[in-house]
Structure 1
Amino acid sequence: MKLSSDLQEFSDRIGHRFGKPELLVRALTHASMSSANRDDNERLEFLGDRVLGLAMAEALLADDPKAPEGLLAPRFNAMVRKETCAEVAREIDLGAVLKMGRSEMKTGGRRKEALLADAMEAVIAAVYLDAGFDVARDLVQRLWGARVRAVEDDARDSKTSLQEWAQARGDAPPEYVEVGRSGPDHAPVFTIEGRLQSGETESAEAGSKRQAEQAAAKALLARVKGSS
């Protein structure tokens, strides 16, 4: 099987030449495009999630040999979560080569965070099945490298940190309320307001509710810590 020109260019972008090109084709095929003669990437995504996890655990241990598990765990979670996988996918323009059905394409599927993240994990699995773990690990370290080196000492998500801050003071957990939504249906922008029992509020916008909540929590945490 010979890759199309766009898939060959993508293969070059990630730095891996496939001995079994059909693996890459499957990794980039969304369920909306699957058929009796075409497998989708869901099983590869399942495998790729585990390959990414092991490769990232090794990378974090090597990057900071003295870090305790209490720091490694949140760093690990920050590196393998869907948002990070989608960011990496965007950097290599994975969305441009995703194979999907017409309806998914019309609703902005090439830009959807979940689809990009799942396909990124499927590509990792495809490389693993094509060339083994060492090559897949090299791919992960190459694409994630700068993030691993720059990950914060405490990479717990902002919502968790803010909730712990509130609980330590005997306050109720923060609330997150959607106060606005704009943009087209296929690319909405959500405005979320984070609220503390003490009255402080901060709002943020993002392309998903989860991202907007995290951004609002981060801004609110910065405010309360700055005033304490």
Structure 2
Amino acid sequence: MTHGSFSAQNGARGKGIEDYQRLEFLGDRVLGLTIAEWLYQNEGAAEGRLSQRLNVLVSRQMCATIARGIGLGEHIRLGKQARDDGGSDSENILGDVMEALIGASFVTRGFEPTRALIRSLWAEEVGGRAGQAKHPKSALQEWAAGNRRKAPEYRLVDRSGPDHAARFTVAVAVKGVGEVEAVANSKQEAETKAAAAFLRQFG
């Protein structure tokens, strides 16, 4: 799964290396159709309710949550700056890569196996059953939405130490609630720790 920053970083050597955006475009549509069909078959709700559930289930946040659950972040090829900035745990990047993976499955394996893949990965979310413990960033995102607050905002407070032993201090804030800081060896780990600490303090 190649992010655009990887090709850009490699300059001439990166020419001809496609990123995942075209597959993301395709996977988004395959996911939407699969979830829509699934909801239509299983629920007798009115159109408005079905649309509401569909929007949540195919959202970037949901795709990112599924991606974290299968460890997709560690398989993304990122440029150094994007990786240092926590790209492998970015909500936007993980959501896009999850859609790209679905697109790749559709191209190489066809619709039926891809639909089965989606149904397996999304089973607990569509069924409304409680799953495994959510990633702290996803849990905080849902907590904020459930409490009618704006989305959490992450801010890099400080970066210290040499590259091989860097220390990142990250703050996460929810407007009208508070702010919490955490320190870790990577920006993404610091964000995760900050989200967990925020939920312990305010959740």
The residue number in structure 1 matching 2:2 is 29
Cα deviation code 1:53-107 (max 9, x no counterpart): 101101111221x111121011001101111100000010000111111111111
Within 2, Cα distance between the matches of 1:80 and 1:177?
A: 18
Matched AA of 2:104: A
Within 2, Cα distance between the matches of 1:177 and 1:117?
A: 16
Matched, 1:93 2:71: yes
The residue number in structure 2 matching 1:125 is 103
The residue number in structure 1 matching 2:92 is 114
Matched, 1:55 2:34: yes
| Partner SS, residue 122 of structure 2 | helix
Report the structure number with the largest CA radius of gyration.
Answer: 1
CA contact (8 A) 2:157 2:171 kept: yes
Within 2, Cα distance between the matches of 1:139 and 1:96?
A: 20
1:72 to 50, 70, 88: 50
Within 2, Cα distance between the matches of 1:141 and 1:179?
A: 32
- CA 1:204 to 1:124, structure 2 compared with 1: closer, same or farther past 3 Å? farther
Q: % of aligned pairs identical?
A: 34
Within 1, Cα distance between the matches of 2:121 and 2:62?
A: 11
CA contact (8 A) 1:192 1:205 kept: no
CA drift of 1:161 comes to 9.6
Matched AA of 1:193: K
Q: What TM-score do you get using the length of structure 2 for normalisation?
A: 0.66
Q: What TM-score do you get using the length of structure 1 for normalisation?
A: 0.59
Moved more, 182-191 or 43-52: 182-191
| Partner SS, residue 173 of structure 2 | strand
Moved more, 122-131 or 101-110: 101-110
2:125 to 147, 162, 169: 147
Moved more, 185-194 or 112-121: 185-194
Gaps of 5+ in 1: 1-27, 152-156, 163-173, 195-201, 220-228
CA contact (8 A) 1:63 1:149 kept: no
The residue number in structure 2 matching 1:191 is 173
- CA 1:101 to 1:131, structure 2 compared with 1: closer, same or farther past 3 Å? same
- CA 1:70 to 1:180, structure 2 compared with 1: closer, same or farther past 3 Å? closer
- CA 1:205 to 1:145, structure 2 compared with 1: closer, same or farther past 3 Å? farther
- CA 1:112 to 1:179, structure 2 compared with 1: closer, same or farther past 3 Å? closer
Number of aligned residue pairs:
161
The residue number in structure 2 matching 1:168 is none
Within 1, Cα distance between the matches of 2:60 and 2:74?
A: 18
CA contact (8 A) 1:85 1:120 kept: yes
CA contact (8 A) 2:145 2:151 kept: no
Q: What CA RMSD, in Å, does the superposition of the two structures yield over aligned residues?
A: 3.5
The residue number in structure 2 matching 1:39 is 18
CA drift of 1:180 comes to 9.0
The residue number in structure 2 matching 1:134 is 112
Matched AA of 2:3: H
Within 2, Cα distance between the matches of 1:95 and 1:177?
A: 22
